[in-house]
Amino acid sequence: MAMHPNTTNTTTRREFMGRAAALGVGVMAAGALPARAEDAAPLRVGLIGCGRRGTGAARDCIRATENVTIAAAGDLFPDALEEGVKKLRTLGKRFTATPETCFSGWDAYQQVINCDVDIVFLCEPPGFRPLHLRAAIEAGKHVFMEKPAAVDPVGIRSVLASTELAAQKGLCIVSGAQRRHQPSYQEILRRIHDGAIGEIVSAACYWIGDYDYYPPVERQNGWSDMEWQIRNWNYFTWLSGDHIVEQHLHNIDVINWALRSHPISAVGMGGRSQRTGPEFGHIYDHFSVEFEYPGGIRVQSLCRQNKDTYRRVGEHLVGTLGTTNPASNISGPNAYRFEGNQANPYEQEHADLVAAIRSGTPLNEGRDLAESTLAAIMGRMSAYTGQEVTWDWALNTSTLDLTPPAWEMGPLPVPPVAVPGVEQLV
């Protein structure tokens, strides 16, 4: 991302996106298309975001595939890049990146994309994802895109445009919504769509637990507002989308998949009960949202990140002939329990991506991820403001864009915790 993280040079959002688009077009004009569809030809991955999820995705890909290497890596922060590369070196000969193909700074993402790579992994904080996806697709690269797709409606529109461009170019986009690559979900959703529980009349989805595996990052002396927020990205809406978007999206995505649709409206509420310190940024720690889907189907969505509380993660659907936990079983006259091979979905998503590239049959999950992400964003916007949010308004009218005014290491005030009735729909 060519300036050093501590530089004071200012780049406006308009200038930054304009340069990115120009660079992407330049790569395409040079003919740098990754057309290695033959089974025996190697595929090279460029990793953007060298944190826990990025290095994890790289390891998952290497475990699941043959003749694929990690050939380039980039991160905004030099220390994160160094730590990530140290972890990636444990992949042995499958890690082929050199000092010349490892980058840090604000343009690290573009430097990785400009390398001789076939697939780009987007594993940076979600607030950067629409910009990075656009640059990768314009450069003619296949993409593995972590979830969520974006953090606001403006970002969703960008992702949808990039998804369409990928389809026109015959490029693959596989998302980190890994349940879509999990055999039990695939089989049970197939049965649901074949009528195993009859007509679906209601549903619920849950991510009730804690986020103790991503504790807040303590601010260090010398860190600007921008640096601290990016390093502590889970707790700022402009970077994570809040946990309903960043985490609970998985469950909302399953509901969209089961209903083969997206919600038409959302009414939500939420707040902060345990997270009261500044280290938790300004996000909520619990949400309750009622989504309405076509046909009058109501879906209850519950998510919470509180310590020492009851936990439940999953989905439940009720039909006219039975019910289902789509991760494992169906109850009713068409009762069924999945007992097949439960492949690791975090690895299978990469195997499916590579298989699609090698076969020349594009696999594009960009729209599915964008629609599930927008549903989650609608729930957050409704809870923050206390207003009903409709799909049509969020997709076509909302001007909410959480992108900072400039990409620079400097002041960036933290918005106050949203108060329903005070926070306005934008």
- Kindly write down the DSSP assignment for every residue of 54-114, as one continuous string: HHHHHHHHHHH-SSEEEEEEEESSHHHHHHHHHHHGGGGGGB---GGGEEESTTHHHHHHH
Q: Is the pLDDT of residue 4 over 70?
A: no
CB 2 within 8 A of CB 106: yes
Dump pLDDT digits (tens) for 178-222. Answer: 999 999 999 999 999 999 999 999 999 999 999 887 899 999 999
For residues 253, 259, 265, 267, the Cα torsion angle rounded to the nearest 10 degrees is -70
Q: Is the pLDDT of residue 366 over 60?
A: yes
Angle at the Cα of 60 from the Cα atoms of 59 and 66, rounded to 5 degrees: 90
Domain with CATH 3.40.50.720 in the chain: 13-179+350-366
| pTM of the model as a whole | 0.91
Q: What proportion of the chain, given as a percentage, has pLDDT over 90?
A: 88
Provide the pLDDT confidence category of residue 35 given band limits of 50, 70 and 90: very low
End-to-end CA distance of the chain: 29
Dump pLDDT digits (tens) for 301-321. Answer: 999 999 999 999 999 999 999
DSSP assigned state of 257: H
Indicate the pairing of strand 68-75 with strand 43-48. parallel
Neighbours of 419 (CB within 10 A): 11
Q: Is the pLDDT of residue 31 over 80?
A: no
**Statement: 13-179+350-366 belongs to CATH 3.40.50.720:** yes
CA distance 177 to 179: 6
Q: Is the pLDDT of residue 23 over 50?
A: no
Task: Give the burial class of 416: count Cβ atoms within 10 A of its Cβ; 0-12 exposed, 13-18 middle, 19 or more buried.
Answer: exposed
The residue among 230 and 11 whose pLDDT is bigger is: 230
Domain with CATH 3.30.360.10 in the chain: 182-341+373-391
Q: Is the pLDDT of residue 337 over 70?
A: yes
CB 47 within 8 A of CB 78: no
Indicate the pairing of strand 336-337 with strand 265-271. unpaired
Q: What are phi and psi of 73, to 5 degrees?
A: -150, 145
Mean pLDDT for the chain?
Answer: 91
**What pLDDT is attached to residue 211?**
85
Lowest mean pLDDT, pick from 31-45, 186-200, 213-227, 377-391 = 31-45
Lowest mean pLDDT, pick from 18-32, 95-109, 190-204 = 18-32
Hey, what are 301's tokens? Answer: 């969505």
Helix (H, G, I), strand (E, B) or coil at 369: helix
**Statement: 182-341+373-391 belongs to CATH 3.40.50.300:** no
Q: Is the pLDDT of residue 18 over 60?
A: no
Q: Is the pLDDT of residue 6 over 50?
A: no
Q: Is the pLDDT of residue 12 over 80?
A: no
CB 294 within 8 A of CB 261: yes
CA distance 138 to 115: 14
Nearest Cα neighbor of 192 from 39, 65, 89, 331 is 331
Q: What proportion of the chain, given as a percentage, has pLDDT over 70?
A: 91
**What pLDDT is attached to residue 214?**
85
